[in-house]
Structure formats: structure tokens, C-alpha cells
Structure 1
Amino acid sequence: MLFTGIMVTLNTMTTPTILLASISALGIFGNANIAWATFQKKKLRSSCNVLITITAITDVLHQWAHLIWAFLYFNETVTTFEECFWIQSVPVFCSNFGSVMLLVLGLDRLICIGKPVFYEQMSKPGYIFALVSIGLTIPVAMSISAYTRMLLDPSKISPCVITGGLDPFGMALFFQVNASLNTSTFLVYGLIWIVVKKSNYSRSKQLLRTITTASLCGVGGWFFTMNLATVLNAVGIEVTPIIIIYNGAILNTSVTMNYLIYFGMSREYRIAFVQQLRILSCGLLKCSMFKVEDSNAFTVTMKSKSGTSKSEYSK
């Protein structure tokens, strides 16, 4: 056995560890490219794009947890509760912040579609700062709580998966808070869908398809993973490391799909990604098979007392 006193064997942990690490490596590549695209193209520096970049960076840091676990696992490294807490502190923080940012992105899109005039007139730096500052309160509070709980028994042995530095109370809180955030995000996307459905936007069917894809693929994995773990805790089933790894593979698949979603649905991101692939392949990859037409962007035009305002929404 790898961890003395913990009923986890090499045979049962090897396959899910490789699976999760592989998914995470792809996710790190994709989300790093999403962040890179914002610095690469001026057209990807709107409020929404900046929020997407912040989310992508948190996803990269979050997914490093699973590569760290794989390294420790295959090197048969035993960690104490305190050691694991510090090793996984940044990924856990970013996982919590990532859930918050999914909700923030949903709210941003709801404001953009529902109040386009207001959205265009407000200060972009102030708006982003306010959203991110408010959003940080949840992961900061959860990190402080986890730290105080860790101090109660810092020397016990703990398999250092992403939640390995959380005690049972902290783990239950982790899943409950994130489940609530992900459920709220789905509700926000539902409101966006209703607003678009009832409005007379041009190409609204294409937008609804984009919204549906974004919510199901981008948020669905988070929603399923966090709510399943919450239900298991509620009925008294222990969420063991192997359950966390298999369950986490679903969440991380959603995180990894961000790259594919933006590649397929956003012209500007697709152009940036193609350029990145050419750079990374030293020009060997021509990428001529990728088209750059954008069939999912639309412009909301509304009249106000001060004139006409246009707000572009592109997934």
C-alpha cells in the first residue's frame, strides 16, 4: 500500500491518476493559450475577455493540483496533513475562485445582453476590479477556514489529492459552496436564455446555441462534480481520494473543453489560437484547414436619450 492506514492501493489509483493528469495537462495547455490570446490580440481585451482570461489563469493553477498529485503518487511520497495543505493551497484557492469566476462571467453576459447601454457606458477597469474583488471574498474566507481546521491535526498522513489538505468539515464546505455557486451559474445562464428568447435580436438562434453549449460544456462538469460530492456527503458516504479523482475527471473535462468551445465559436479566439499553433510548431503547422468566420457574434443595438449604443457579445 502507498499510504499506511489508508485503504488505497496502487492498482486502484494508477489508472484514475493517469487519466486525471492527462486531462489536466490538456486543460493547462488550452487555458494558457486562452490567457495568451488576450495579450496577443487587442480585440480580445473587452471586459468579458479580461474576465475570461482571469478565469483561464485560475483554471491553469487549479489543474496543476492533479499533476502535483501524480508526481507525488508515482514517487510514493507520503505527506502530512499540513504539508498537503500548503502544497495544494494555491490550486484549492484557484478552484474556489474558478467557481466564482464562472458565476461572474454569467452575470457579465446577463448585464451585457439585458442592459447594453449601461454596459457600454460604465468604466471597464472599475467594473472588473469590483467584480473580482467581491469574488475573492469567498475563496479567501474558505482558505482561512481550511487553515484553522488544518492546525487541529497537522501531523496526520494524508494522500495529497487536491482536497487532501481539507478535513471532513472543510471538504464538505468546499463541495457545498462550489455546488451552490455552480447551481447559481446555471440559473444565470437560464435567465440569459430567457432574455434572448423573448427579445428580437438578430441571429438569436445562433446565440442561444452558443449559450447552451457554453453552459452545458463549460459549467456542466463543475455542476455535476460538486453536487454529486455534496449528495454523497449528505447521505453519509465518505468521499475518498479515489472518488475525488474520478469525480474530478468530469470537472476537469469541462475546464479542458473551454479551449475547444472558444476555438469553435469565436472568430477572434480562433485566429489567435491558429497563430499560437503556428508559433508553437515553429511554422510547421500551417492550420489552413481552420476557417475563421464567426457565426456566433451578434450586436445588440438599443436607443437611449443620448443616442444609439451597440454592445457586441461573442462567446
Structure 2
Amino acid sequence: SHIILSPQFVFTLLAIISAIGIINNSLLLLTTLRSKFLRAPCNKLIAIGAVFDILHQIGLTPHGFVVYGGQMIKSSTCNMIMFIPELGCSAGSFAVLSIGIDRFISISASGNYRKLNTFQYLSVSFFAI
């Protein structure tokens, strides 16, 4: 029972889950970029969300130095290191919101949705993120 509660075990478990997430989000991004059938605005928003999720998932890396190295990190250094992962977390949440709004617009105004300028639409969505 001490092994399950040890920081090394918890970190290793989280690192494995993060690695799986990074691999899956990378595959999702790669598939979206390579497939000609995944060019709809929703697919692009999902790919953008995957990028932000990857940024968030790499935030676990600095914790390994503390858990396995026994070295403490200054708060200011930790804040600098965690800026990009936290940005990914926040932007990923708004990406999910943008996907939801996109799906709502596509259902409630399907005729107008098909006529939208994709570049302008995604620019507004990305700016909102």
C-alpha cells in the first residue's frame, strides 16, 4: 500500500497517461493535416484543440525532476516552466467551447454554415481562443 501512495508511483502513472495522451493527440493532429477529407472547420478546431492538449500534457515533465531528482524548484522558475502548459490548458478549454459553438451553428444554421468563409471563421474562432 505504500508503493501505491508513493510520489514516484503516482508520477509514473501520470507520466504514462500523459504519454498516451501526447501520442494520441499527435496522431489526431497528423491525421487531420494529411487527410483531404478532414478539412471542415470543425476538424481544424479539433486539431487546434489537440495542439493545446499536447502543450498541457508536457507540463508534467518538470515534476519528474522533483520526484526522482529530489531537487526543489523555485516558485518563480516553476511559474516560468509551467506557463506554456497552463496556457495549453486554458486555450484547450476554449477550443472545446469553440468546437461546441461550431457544432451548434452547423446544426441551427446549416445553410449559412456551409457558406461561411472558412479562413475568416477559423480566424475568429482562433482569436476567441
TM-score with structure 1 setting the length:
0.39
Q: Report the equivalent of 1:96.
A: 90
**Distance in 1 between the 2:85 and 2:60 partners?**
9
1:2-55 CA-partner distances (Å, limit 9, x unpaired): xxxxxxxxx632221111111000000000010001111111111001100000
Check if 1:86 corresponds to 2:80.
Answer: yes
**Distance in 1 between the 2:66 and 2:36 partners?**
40
**Distance in 2 between the 1:77 and 1:53 partners?**
36
1:246-276 CA-partner distances (Å, limit 9, x unpaired): xxxxxxxxxxxxxxxxxxxxxxxxxxxxxxx
Stretches of structure 2 that go unaligned for 5 or more consecutive residues are none
Asked whether the 8 Å contact 1:24–1:67 carries over to 2, the reply is no
Q: Kindly report which structure 2 residues correspond to 1:137-286, keeping only aligned pairs within 5 A, or say none.
A: none
1:257-310 CA-partner distances (Å, limit 9, x unpaired): xxxxxxxxxxxxxxxxxxxxxxxxxxxxxxxxxxxxxxxxxxxxxxxxxxxxxx
Q: Kindly report which structure 2 residues correspond to 1:117-136, keeping only aligned pairs within 5 A, or say none.
A: 117-135=111-129
Q: Percent identity?
A: 30
1:64-107 CA-partner distances (Å, limit 9, x unpaired): 01133224421222111100001111000100111111111111
Asked whether the 8 Å contact 1:59–1:98 carries over to 2, the reply is yes
**Distance in 1 between the 2:67 and 2:85 partners?**
17
SS at match of 1:45: coil
SS at match of 1:77: coil
Q: Report the equivalent of 2:110.
A: 116
TM-score with structure 2 setting the length:
0.91
Asked whether the 8 Å contact 1:55–1:98 carries over to 2, the reply is yes
**Distance in 2 between the 1:44 and 1:68 partners?**
35
Q: Report the equivalent of 2:68.
A: 74
Q: Report the equivalent of 2:38.
A: 44
Q: Report the equivalent of 2:15.
A: 21
SS at match of 2:37: helix
Q: Report the equivalent of 1:64.
A: 58
CA 1:128–1:77 in structure 2 vs 1: closer, same or farther (change >3 Å)? same
Asked whether the 8 Å contact 1:59–1:95 carries over to 2, the reply is yes
1:111: how far off?
Answer: 0.8
SS at match of 2:57: helix
SS at match of 1:43: coil
Greater helix percent: which structure? Answer: 2
Q: Which has the higher contact order (CA 8 A, sep 6+)?
A: 2
Asked whether the 8 Å contact 1:62–1:92 carries over to 2, the reply is yes
**Distance in 1 between the 2:13 and 2:71 partners?**
19
**Distance in 2 between the 1:83 and 1:71 partners?**
13
Asked whether the 8 Å contact 1:25–1:67 carries over to 2, the reply is no
Greater strand percent: which structure? Answer: 1
Query: Which amino acid letter does the alignment assign opposite residue 127 of structure 1?
Result: Y
Aligned residue pair count: 125
